[in-house]
A and B are shown apart, each in its own frame.
Chain A
Amino acid sequence: MSSKRHSILPAVSAGPKPPVQFSSSITIADSALLTGTNLITISSESVIHPRAKLDSLAGRITIGRRCVVHERTMLGVLGTSGKVTEQAVTLGDYVTVEVAASIEAGNTIIGEGSTVGVGSKIGAGAVIGKHCTLTPHTEIPAGEIIPDFTVIYSNGMKRIDKRGVADLKNKGQARQIDVLKRMIPSTPAKFT
């Protein structure tokens, strides 16, 4: 634990230390919170920002390649349903989970290249397709299946993204990760 707290937010209680399987090229901040009893896997070149919370109490957490998980996110939250499954949360490659988003546990799958917007809440068991865009503060009910290339905007309105910029977005994400690698000091050893 760090010596002196500077934050005015209440202190987060630390839970059990989970077993982890990190790739060698990931960037994980020192103040990221990994708790739980199941395995947490983070694949190559992904970035975990400070104060991201990964909770594997309700199942495993698997994060794909070149993902970015921002601050104050909560992956693996036990929602009202409280489902405990083998795989709690799966993030595909190139997924971005923005600040303060929360993804509930229970076989929740986020497809490749999707962006979960700021403050979004994804219910347990939801399946988000590939290259989807969830605009800020969207709420996905539990069990919902979102097809590929969907944009969810406004109050749950949906439309199909036809820009065809999936490859460009992936390239942009790779460049962003290069920059983040230099900005966030990585301490994977703390969690292993």
Chain B
Amino acid sequence: MAPLNPYTYIQCPCSDSASLGRPSDATSPTSADGDDEDNTFDPRAPRANFSLYPLEYLLYCEDCHQIRCPRCITEEIATYFCPSCLFEVPSSNLKSEGNRCTRSCFQCPICIGPLSVTSIETPPSDPTLLAPDHAATPHSTYSLICSYCNWSSTEIGIQFDKPNSIHAQLAKIRNGGASRLTAKERKERRKELSHRGGEAAVVAASEASGGQDMDLETQFANLKLFYNSQLADPNAEDNGLSSLGDLGFSSPSSLSRIMNLYTGGKLHDPRAKSKLGAMREAITAGEGLLEPNLDESSLISQLHQSDFLDTASSTQICSQPPNLGELHLHGAARFNSSLRPVPYLLRTKRSKRCPVCRHIISKPEAKVQTTRFRIRLVAGSYIPSISIRRLNLPGPNGPAAPAILGDLLEPLKPVHFLLTFKNPIFESLKVTLGAPAKTPGRFPSKVTVLCPQFDIDANTDVWDEALKDNDRESSNRSRRRAGTESQFQVEVGKIWERGRNWVSIVVEVVPASLKLEAGQDVLKEDEDVLEIPMFVRIEWEAENGGEDAASGPGRDKEQKEKRELAYWCVLGLGRIRQG
């Protein structure tokens, strides 16, 4: 069984506590409790898992004076940046260029390591010929090389002329080195043609080129153009079924005609076309029709010959961005040898807000390189942290055995745990604890918190404490002496030890026996973990905010306001020995 280190999880109040109080199975004895005013929090309920967080994950809203968890917080994106080049991308570029880095940052498609642009030295053409004095090649080519798995973009036949703006160069090259036209270039060509030869020339050109290279982008562009033309003017000459009176509802001309039928009379526009047009689908490649090539025998024979590890895995295929230079669907990469470099996905820096009062809880610096925060209100600086360790008290037969962390708990033998509460705020806290006498679940263990109410001193400076130390030394000594006497005796209602800003108390637990009766189900996963739900209520006096500063006379200088916060938390103590 995996050893268990003691942990503390805190429940965020955003979850519906009423539904968490009811235990899941009917055999547990807590169901007999019925509905208390505060339903005992059951950490074994299926929903409880989603509302429990360690203290480090929780944030705190100062206006609401309430804990906030990652589930209930509202996030806003502050900046987008590329994780590889740390270049900040303005959010306006996101819509036009997508959520990937458009500079030279790429991931190896095989091993997801970063690719670096390296120049490929062309070997000397003929060693017997005399090399010129300036032997540097004027035209050097570059390629992307992975420094971990030694993959190179030359394996898919791609080389570059310039070492920068690789993304743009890559968009123009297909696997194997053939070039393709990007969307911009296509538009420009279309414009040129329409200037020279008019509409017919454009159509003729698109028909001609449609047969050759119908890649994803071209097909989409052609189809979009065709549909737009259909929507605008469905009554073109080459319509088929229009005479049969098919109604094309989406065409604006037909819509206006139908509306005119209802409004009728003089409003009818005499110039409106009376003949109704029907929309049709694309017929030629120039309009965007891609004839399916269902003969995959060449692909199948290639699969027969190649190794399983030569085919691209599903993660590799999913991480490939859509390849605009290949056919839609038929051109998807199946083999490792046709995988293209993957541009890095952009990451975000997010600022977090309280969902209730919209107060900013966490705000990182806008600059990408700094990891600091402008505002950071974490729960760890407002609520006390609880650390747990096992306390071995000497039994009636000799000194205590040393505690091993993660040791299994013996069933039906009382164990003691030391809980240390550390106060992070600059005021003294009053803590009240409440734990059910029996833990919820199929195997209830008995729990006794020996000191359920205590005070913790404020988190003052270490220097203040040192200065006061001289005054308090005598009182400390007497306190410690008293402590050593009672060190081996656990007393109800007394704390174990106290420090500058912390207090430790003892919790006595009698773990349940995990013996299964006849007819009971087998032990479920983690059902042998001893977990105590505990209700923590903290009260402190805080200085009032600056709102009431200008109130009338008769007020004290510092108006202290009593504040309290209450939450459920779960202490995981250890695993109980089975059998």
Contacts and interface: CB of A to CB of B under 8 A. Distances in A.
Interface residues of B, number: 14
Interface stretch (A17-25, A154-162, A179-187): A154-162
Contacts of A158: 309
Contacts, number: 27
B167 to A, nearest CB: 22
Contact of A168 (B111, B121, B151, B155): B121
A151 B149 CA distance: 6
Given A135-B149, A168-B121, A153 B155 contact: no
Given A153-B111, A154-B111, A161 B121 contact: no
Contacts of A4: none
Nearest to B110: A159
Contacts of B145: 163
B209 interface: no
Give the size range of A's interface with the partner. Answer: 10 to 19
Nearest to A158: B309
A182 to B, nearest CB: 26
B152 interface: yes
Given A162-B155, A163-B145, A168-B121, A133 B111 contact: no
Centre residue among A157, A158, A159, A168 by max chain B CB count within 10 A:
A159
Contacts of A168: 121
A159 B336 CA distance: 10
Contact of A163 (B111, B150, B309): B150
Interface in B284-308: none
Interface in B303-341: 309, 336
Interface string B121-158: 10100000000000000000000010011111011000
Interface in A113-168: 133, 135, 151, 153-154, 157-159, 161-163, 167-168
A136 to B, nearest CB: 9
B121 A151 contact: no
Interface in B347-389: none
Nearest to B113: A153
A129 to B, nearest CB: 14
Given A151-B150, A157-B309, A159-B110, 11 more contacts: A135-B148, A135-B149, A151-B149, A153-B149, A158-B309, A159-B149, A159-B150, A159-B336, A162-B154, A163-B150, A163-B154
Interface of B: 110-111, 121, 123, 145, 148-152, 154-155, 309, 336
